[in-house]
């Protein structure tokens, strides 16, 4: 169990009700600083709801959560200063250039223009987009656009980066390219929490995962540990067992 001093994210007994729908129920898990952590689960399991609570965009019905050492309900401003977010839907402005998208985001975080351009140039370099700065975002391929969105979310150097289905719709080469980028971001000290429906992606990329089903955490651990615990040969099998589904014949 991760000690709380090392935790980038601490979730204790989190519940979220939308009217009669219980989207999250007694969810408890920790993410250690520097980890790449995957939230896995079927459609409607509560992954995005969890992220939105951790980003202070939604208030929990019950329970507590701390992100980068700050309480999401008591200290939302401190949390917001320390988190980055790439949502499920796309955030790039197609009619701005790559560099303009980056510096626009810098402005949102009150970076001065010169500092924003310097930061943008460094991040584009890390993302392998150094030569793309003057291109209109609309001409970028899906994978390159997604990388730009990640780079944009790093302009204020967040302690914890939340990626909601970062590789959906990307081909395998673009996905692997994005994994490499996420590993680099992680290597620079940013904790990464991501969701994905691609279980081989979670297996390859995540240090640890939590499997959520109908708002409840069913399993937490390193992919290798979970495979051993469930006597499974793949994370797909773990996922199906943890979510009470049968393996297709």
Residues β-bridged to residue 76: none
Of residues 6, 18, 118, 125, which one binds ligand ATP by CB under 6 A? Answer: 18
Distance linking the first and last C-alpha atoms of the chain? 36
- The one of ligand ATP, Mg ion, none whose footprint includes residue 18, by CB under 5 to 8 A per kind, is ligand ATP
Alpha-carbon distances, residue 64 vs 11, 77, 158 (angstroms): 6, 16, 21
Q: Which is nearer to Mg ion, 47 or 66 (CB)?
A: 47
Which among 142, 201, 202, 196 has a CA at the least distance from the CA of 169?
A: 142
- 166 binds ligand ATP per the rule CB under 6 A: no
Written as one string, the DSSP assignment of 186-207 is: HHTT-EEEEE-S-HHHHHHH-S
CB 53 within 8 A of CB 85: no
Number of residues that bind ligand ATP (CB under 6 A): 11
Tokens for 166?
A: 């970062």
Q: Which residues bind Mg ion (CB under 5 A)?
A: 47-48
- The one of ligand ATP, Mg ion, none whose footprint includes residue 27, by CB under 5 to 8 A per kind, is none
Q: Which is nearer to ligand ATP, 18 or 187 (CB)?
A: 18
- 21 binds ligand ATP per the rule CB under 6 A: yes
Of residues 8, 11, 14, 23, which one binds ligand ATP by CB under 6 A? Answer: 23
CA dist 175 and 180 (Å) reads 9
- The one of Mg ion, ligand ATP, none whose footprint includes residue 147, by CB under 5 to 8 A per kind, is none
- 134 binds ligand ATP per the rule CB under 6 A: no
In terms of C-beta density within 10 A (0-12 exposed, 13-18 middle, 19 or more buried), how is residue 83 classed?
buried
CB 160 within 8 A of CB 67: yes
Q: Which is nearer to ligand ATP, 168 or 204 (CB)?
A: 168
Site string for ligand ATP, 35-64 (x = CB under 6 A): ------x-xxxxxxx---------------
Binding site for ligand ATP (CB under 6 A): 18, 21, 23, 41, 43-49
């Amino acid at each position: 169990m991760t000690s709380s001093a090392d935790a980038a994210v601490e979730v204790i007994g989190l519940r979220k009700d939308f009217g009669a729908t219980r989207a999250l129920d007694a969810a408890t898990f920790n993410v250690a600083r520097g980890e790449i952590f995957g939230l896995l689960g079927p459609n409607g399991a509560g992954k995005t709801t969890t992220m939105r609570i951790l980003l202070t965009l939604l208030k929990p019905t019950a329970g507590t959560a701390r992100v980068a050492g700050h309480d999401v309900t008591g200290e939302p401003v401190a949390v917001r200063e320390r988190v980055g977010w790439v949502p499920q839907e796309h955030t790039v402005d197609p009619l701005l250039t790559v560099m303009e998208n980056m510096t626009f985001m810098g402005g949102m975080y009150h970076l001065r223009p010169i500092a924003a351009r310097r930061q943008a140039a460094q991040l584009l370099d890390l993302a392998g987009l150094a030569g793309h700065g003057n291109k209109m975002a609309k001409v970028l391929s899906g994978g390159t656009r997604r990388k730009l969105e990640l780079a944009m979310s790093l302009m204020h150097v967040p302690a914890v980066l939340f990626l909601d289905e970062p590789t959906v719709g990307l081909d395998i080469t673009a996905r692997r390219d994005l994994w490499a980028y996420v590993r680099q971001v992680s290597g620079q000290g940013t904790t990464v929490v991501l969701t994905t429906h691609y279980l081989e992606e979670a297996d390859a990329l995540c240090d640890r995962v939590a499997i959520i089903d109908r708002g409840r955490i069913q399993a937490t651990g390193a992919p290798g540990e979970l495979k051993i615990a469930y006597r499974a040969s793949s994370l797909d099998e773990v996922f199906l067992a943890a979510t009470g589904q049968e393996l297709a014949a």
